[in-house]
Structures are given as structure tokens and as C-alpha cells.
Amino acid sequence: MIKLESSQPIGIFDSGIGGLTVAKTVIERLPHENVIYFGDTAHFPYGDKSKSAIQECTQHVVDKLLDHDCKVILIACNSASAAAYDFLKQRINDRAYLINIIDPILQSIAQTHAHKKIGLIGTRQTIGSNVYGQKLRALNSDIQLQSLATPLLVSAIETMLHNKKVIHEIIKEYFSNAILSDIDALILGCTHYPAIEKNIIEFYEGQTEIINPSHAAAAQIKQLLEENNLLNSAGHGLQHIYVSDYTDSFAQSVKLFFDKEIAVEY
């Protein structure tokens, strides 16, 4: 590992606005870090792409974040975490720490949700890869995982977040599926989904625990920085947002997550 400095930023990326939910959580947990976000909007969404296509897209994003001297890079996308984490880890080598959005939450629930029936929603790529089930088995977890691909949710959140009627109907259609009945908790297996967390809680009438993986990822980043003496005490949160293709809708969506004005750079 090359020598890293505490003043170097944390890089976070996703294919669209979804990863901003993760960035917000990381900043709340680590308010004195400098954070750079990259939305690979030219290749949105990752969830419907092949494994090789996701690897090709994400390697360019990671190279850009390395050019900005990021000390930690968080893959704030379940589809990319499932398809490209090992590939990107080899590419980065020892230039920065790499964290995916999946491992931290699975390590957490394996300890806290033993003998539970857990639902999982995600993109076709995430659910089809069965990465959650494989990793839970590797952790010797006896959690019963019930998985359902919910691909329409991502597009709805990106384009119709303000249209409550459309969001409600899509949630009703997916969550009425028997796969997601009688579950003790639900993992939001896509970083877009926390944007409609309140709607999901409302559907379950507050009777089902909703698990947002971004909290576990933020906790792991904090632990990693503490252990390696890389905590920054003089940073100022989100510094830059970069996109691979500028759209007004993305720029407008940024305002939903952060109170301050942040320029979106192309």
C-alpha cells in the first residue's frame, strides 16, 4: 500500500443518483472528511447490464477517482459490487482501499439476525448473481433469504420521485408478491431504494424492519480510517459531484439530498 494521507478524499460512485443516499450517510457519520461523488450517468442503469459491461464501465470511474487521490473508494451500487468488486480490487491494487456496499451489511446481519427470515429487493443483476445468498452461506449464516428483483423501482425513482401515485402503485405490485410476505426484515439491495424508504415502511405498516446497507458501509469506512490513522479532522463533506453525462434531472435531484448548492461537473 502506498502511503496515504488523512487529507485525501473519500470517493463514492454509482450509476445515477442512488449513491447519493450513501454519500449522505457517509457524510453524516464522517462530517470532517472530504467526499467526491461520481455518477456514471452515461451508463445508467448498471442493474440491467452484463457482468463484463459493468466491469468495463466501473474501471473508468475508479480510474477517475484515483486521479483525484481518493484514499478510500466505496462502490455505492449493489449491481457493481456484485459484478465488479473483485475485478476492481485487482485493478486498484494498493493505491487505495476499496469497499463494496454488500459485505458490511451482510457481516452485520449475520450477527444480529440469526434464525430470521430476511427479504431482499434489488436489480436483476444483483438478484440474479445470488451474491447475497452466497456470501451469507460463506458466513455460516442460518438466515433464510427471500429475494425479489424489482427493476422498475430504479427508473421510477430516477424519473418519478415526486409522483407519489406511481411510486405507490409500483411498490404495491412488487411488495404484494408472496416472496416478500411474512419476513422479519427487508434489505434495500439498491442504493436508490432509501429514497422511498418511508413509502416502504408505510406499505408494511411499520411491522417489518427496513435495513439500509449504507449505514453499515459508513461504519466500516470509519473503522478502516481509524485503524489506519487516516481520519481527517479538517474536511468539509461533499466537495465535488462529477457525472459522465450531464442531465438537468440529475442536477435537480442533488437538491433532494443536500441542503447546500453543489455544482454538478461534467
At 97-109, the pLDDT tens digits run: 999 999 999 999 9
State the Cα–Cα distance between residues 44 and 155, nearest whole angstrom. 10
pTM of the model: 0.93
At 188, is the secondary structure helix, strand, or coil?
Answer: strand
Walk across the sheet containing 144-149 and list its strands. Answer: 144-149, 117-122, 185-188, 209-211
Among 23, 73, 77, 120, the one annotated catalytic: 77
Mean pLDDT of the chain: 94
CA-based max dimension of the chain: 51
**Strand, coil or helix: 191:** coil
Annotation says 70 is catalytic: no
Q: Calculate mean pLDDT across residues 34-48.
A: 95
Which pLDDT band holds residue 165 (cuts at 50, 70, 90)? confident
> Grid coordinates representing 78?
449493489
Q: 121: closest CA among 175, 157, 164?
A: 175
Q: How far apart are CA 163 and CA 31, in angstroms?
A: 32
pLDDT at 155: 83
| ∠ CA 96-188-140, rounded to 5° | 75
Phi, psi torsion values for 98, nearest 5 degrees: -120, 130
Spatial neighbors of 158 by CB under 8 A, at least 6 apart, are: 16, 17, 44, 45, 192, 249, 253
The residue from 54, 73, 156, 190 that is catalytic is: 190
Residue 31: all three cell numbers together: 462530517
